[in-house]
Amino acid sequence: MHSAVFLIEFGAIILGLGLLGRFAGRFRFSPIPLYLLAGLAFGKGGLLPLGASEEFVAIGAEIGVILLLLMLGLEYTASDLVSNLKTQYPAGLVDFALNALPGAAAALLLGWGPVAAVVLAGVTWISSSGVIAKVLGDLGRLGNRETPVILSILVLEDLAMAVYLPIITALLAGVGLAAGSATLAIALGVAGAVLFVAVRYGRLISRFVSSDDPEKLLLVVLGLTLLVAGVAQQLQVSAAVGAFLVGIALSGEVAEGAHALLSPLRDLFAAVFFVFFGLHTDPSSIPPVILPALALAVVTALTKVATGYWAARRAGIGVKGRWRAGGTLVARGEFSIVIAGLAVSAGVQPQMGPFATAYVLILVVVGPLTARFTEPVVAAVTRWRGGGGERPGADAPPTARKSPVALEDPIAPGDPIALEDPSAAPAPYDGLAPRGEPSRTD
């Protein structure tokens, strides 16, 4: 009887996700907000709480985040990652300053104390790699020129979590300096070792994984990813970071074959992840903290847009691409909930859980919308005010050549058109370029 109920519940979830996805596709927007609202409706305190399938959904959600980051890693090579981190680390510092400090200030203003301030700083700092990876795929932007800038910030945030999580764990547990330092050293050592192996022995790993049989390739890649992610998490490093680095280590035909085989699995389990997030949010806990959470969400949405705009401008991306980069980074998600959960378990501040849930829920719903509409809204406001604004690419080096604009991003009436200079030599670009994907200037 229990298995029958499980099959009915889980089948209903998958069928509902498919119908919601089709509805979103018809109106050309991301289905993520619909998945989250469905989770709220059938979670704790919702219309019809699930029971038998909850544990399976939790495991599927974790696999969904791992697959999202693996697929992102498959788009890039290890050498690209290293060179990009070297050039984009200032963007990581700006990201921390603009987005962590508002969270810390909000906790202090609410009278929660310094430990809660460190926790809330992490909640507001880290964008959701899972949501953003899904949004980039849904909007067809993996080949955009601003996408490497976005991924650089996400990777820097994920790697920073290898340092932040041991620190916050030690603060919440009240352990001594020696124990906290040992935990931090282990986390840094594991992250560094995995990155070193990916850079140094990526070709050997690809050769070991390679197979002409799709079934064997799928099993080996999926098994290796879950194994590395599990070991990384056991050693206090994010499982998402481990999965991303596995994708980085794979290259060539192996990466292309794995991408094609794993795409349907990624879409399935990623949808389950977003439903699971909603399932564990009690709607009745949100109203008491909604106003301060909304105020903080507005502030940190603007600071994320500013972060993406600044980072894309620094990389020589055109104006449209800067706004797209900023809007895409707004969403918060899995890491924010994990950080707040640690604080709630330690009994630091009872209101931290509902506050973080309301905050993340606002931005995880708004994030896909800002990713889609920030650039066209800014363009419309600029035209309405009667000014042409800054010409796309005007801040780029004078020798930069404008690449062709893709069909999904047509030039709107009234937009200025940057003419190519046939005598200009292409300027070097220090960002990542996805494997096999054409880049776009803005």
Distance CA 52, CA 172 (A): 33
pLDDT for residue 180: 60
Burial class (CB in 10 A: 0-12, 13-18, 19+), 285: middle
Which residues have C-beta within 8 Å of that of residue 357, sequence separation ≥ 6? Answer: 281, 285, 286, 337, 340
Which residues, 6+ apart, have CB-to-CB distance to 379 below 8 Å? 320, 389, 412, 415
- How many Å apart are CA 334 and CA 268, to the nearest integer? 17
385-391 contacts, C-beta under 8 A, 24 or more apart:
388/416, 389/319, 389/416, 390/319, 391/319, 391/416, 391/418
- Express each pLDDT in 372-419 by its tens digit: 899 999 989 888 887 544 444 444 443 333 333 333 344 344 444 343
**350 in Cβ contact with 363 (< 8 Å):** no
Query: Which of 277, 246, 326, 266 lies closest to 137 in space, CA to CA?
Result: 266
Tokens of 257: 């074959």
Per-residue pLDDT of the chain (442 residues; tens, 9 = 90+): 467 777 887 888 889 889 988 887 787 666 777 887 787 777 666 666 666 566 777 788 888 878 877 887 787 676 766 776 777 789 989 999 999 999 999 999 999 888 889 999 999 999 988 788 888 888 888 888 888 889 889 888 877 776 777 677 777 766 555 656 676 677 667 767 767 777 777 778 888 888 888 888 899 999 988 998 888 777 766 677 778 778 878 877 788 888 888 888 888 887 887 777 677 667 777 788 899 999 999 999 999 999 999 999 998 899 999 999 999 999 987 678 778 877 777 777 778 878 888 898 889 889 988 998 999 999 898 888 875 444 444 444 433 333 333 333 443 444 443 433 444 444 444 444 444 444 444 5
Residues 6+ apart with CB under 8 A from 205: 197, 198, 249, 250
